[in-house]
Amino acid sequence: MLLPPNTRLLFIGDSITDCGRERPVGEGYGLGNGYVSLLNALLNSTYPPHPVRIINVGVSGNTVRDLEARWQTDVLHLKPDWLSIMIGINDVWRQFDSPLQTEWHVSLEEYRATLERLIQKTKPQLKGLILMTPYFIEANRSDPMRAMMDQYGHAVRELAEKLHALLVDTQAAFDTALRFVHAKSLAGDGIHPTLPGHAILARAFLDVVEYEW
């Protein structure tokens, strides 16, 4: 597995990462009820001689702007060895559920530039970086929100290649599942996963860090 023993692995993102985690920092029993907690359970039960300290600082509703506003406190001050970032869902969603509140909208160009700026600021102190694409659980790729989400996901893939980060293609993982199950069984609103949906995220993450199933 790529994560060395005693790694401090920090997850930052929006509600998909947050999932009711404890404040100010989620650890131990306070990791929330989503994919971060599933990862913690799997890693620390099946690799007991290989402990990984998992920290959750996801915040519901966040866009990449919000991440930048709290980056010093919630990332740099916590000094993770490895960092996982999943952001972008709200950057897209606000353009659809709040079309008149244009001040809330984060353009693709702003999204890409802000995310790259945060990564460049942090990468020198990291041993590993993992970027997770945003997603929309919708099989119809011509759906307007799905089409826009794919553009933001493509930006993450480009940044992962440019900045030598590991990439978790969450959209591809959900697309595979959608060949067999209906989208509503994975997320009623296409965004907030059921427990099986969170398990899909956890599995996609573990595959990328070469977890031995």
Name residue 130's beta-bridge partners.
84, 166
SS3 at position 52: strand
Catalytic residue among 97, 98, 189, 207: 189
Look at residue 50 in the predicted model and tell me its pLDDT.
Answer: 87
213 has a pLDDT exceeding 90:
no
- Which two three-digit tokens encode residue 57? 């600082």
Amino acid letter for position 127: K
Angle of CA points 174, 18, 31, to nearest 5°:
105
Nearest of 13, 160, 167, 10 to residue 83 by alpha carbon:
10
- Which two three-digit tokens encode residue 88? 């972008």
- Write the pLDDT tens digit of every residue in 149-190: 999 999 999 999 999 999 999 999 999 999 999 999 999 999
State the number of CA atoms in the 13 A half-sphere of 30 facing the CB.
10
Which residue is it, tokens 């949906």? 197
Structural domains of the chain, ranges and CATH numbers in brackets: 7-208 (3.40.50.1110)
Amino acid letter for position 201: L
The answer to whether 50 is a known catalytic residue is no
Of the pLDDT bands very low, low, confident and very high (cuts 50, 70, 90), residue 47 is: confident
Residue 29, number of CB atoms within 10 A of its CB: 8
- pTM for the model stands at 0.96
Alpha helices (H) in the chain, listed in sequence order: 15-18, 35-46, 64-71, 89-97, 108-122, 144-162, 170-177, 195-208
The answer to whether 97 is a known catalytic residue is no
Calculate mean pLDDT across residues 48-56: 92
Catalytic residue among 15, 18, 74, 150: 15
Nearest of 113, 8, 102 to residue 57 by alpha carbon:
8
CB of 3 closer than 8 Å to CB of 128: yes
**Cβ partners under 8 Å of residue 24, min gap 6:** none
d(CA 189, CA 182): 12
CA 28 vs CA 20, 44, 55, 81: distances in Å: 13, 11, 8, 17
* Burial class (CB within 10 angstroms; exposed 0-12, middle 13-18, buried 19+) of 213: exposed
Kindly report the average pLDDT of the chain as a whole number: 96
The answer to whether 192 is a known catalytic residue is yes
- Write the pLDDT tens digit of every residue in 58-105: 999 999 999 999 999 999 999 999 999 999 999 999 999 899 999 999
Catalytic residue among 50, 105, 154, 192: 192
d(CA 12, CA 18): 8
